[in-house]
Amino acid sequence: MATALITGGTSGIGAAFARALAARGNDLVLVARNRERLEQTAAELADRYAVSVEVLPADLSVRADVLRVVERLTDPDQPIDLLINNAGFGIHTKLTAADLSAHEHAMTVMCGAVLLLGGAAGRVMAERGHGQIINVSSTAGFVLLGNYSAIKAWVTAYSESLAVELAGTGVTVTALLPGWVRTEFHERADLKTSKIPGPLWLDADRVVEECLVDVARGRAVSLPSKRYKLLIFFARHLPRRAIAVISARISSGRR
């Protein structure tokens, strides 16, 4: 029976991954900051799907906590078969703000922790000759929405680079690039979403199902839904000046 470790596994896309994998009979290790919520989620999943669910409280902005997760990932007696780097949050602070600590915090969680956890998982999985890594990125990496776009562009490029490095080892790496997904993510980031057209919203469970199909096929990038595949095709081919104009309009509608 396979075991998956999921960061940010108690809400949003992380919780959707937890449900989907538990339904397939996978044991889970859930990582998040809130112990009470972790234990509640673990109990619900274990009761509903009859799988083992371990909880690992950790703040991924704290290096010591990240290293505890690395230690769990590399435990030879309790191997992890699938790592899902999902922990993340929106950023509402301007790049020119006097206090840039929010950006530093975001980069620590969504870049630094991904780098450490992905590297550790890739190393031990390659030694075993099998494993899967999913890094949750975003279609925001193709537009210009402040540091969040920069971070997610990094996550996608990192994932593809790690996939190249691990080619032939039996380990696959997939970057998941969702668009707007109906979760509590936007509310936490204090982002207004009323002007986002209805057809652009995706369901978290559907996003996860499409991603797992792509992972099984060994794809380095998973871009759920035909509508976003089309939108990102244009984003990749439009002049950067046009992308800047579109990004400015999106940003103004979220304030």
**What angle do helix axes 63-73 and 113-128 make, rounded to 10 degrees?**
10
Contact 26, 82 (CB under 8 A): yes
Compute the radius of gyration of the chain from its Cα atoms: 18
Structure tokens at 180: 């707007």
Torsional sign, CA 96, 97, 98, 99: negative
Q: What is the 3-state secondary structure (H, E, C) of 191-236?
A: CCCCCCCHHHEECHHHHHHHHHHHHHCCCCEECCCHHHHHHHHHHH
Name the strands in the sheet holding 27-32, side by side, starting at the edge strand that comes first in the sequence.
53-57, 27-32, 3-7, 82-85, 131-136, 171-176, 221-222
User: Alpha helix locations (H) across the chain?
Assistant: 12-23, 35-49, 63-73, 101-107, 113-128, 146-165, 185-188, 204-216, 226-237, 240-253
User: Alpha helix locations (H) across 50-112?
Assistant: 63-73, 101-107
Among residues 178, 85, 69, which one has the least CA distance to residue 135?
85
Supply the residues annotated as catalytic.
Answer: 148
Contact 230, 139 (CB under 8 A): no
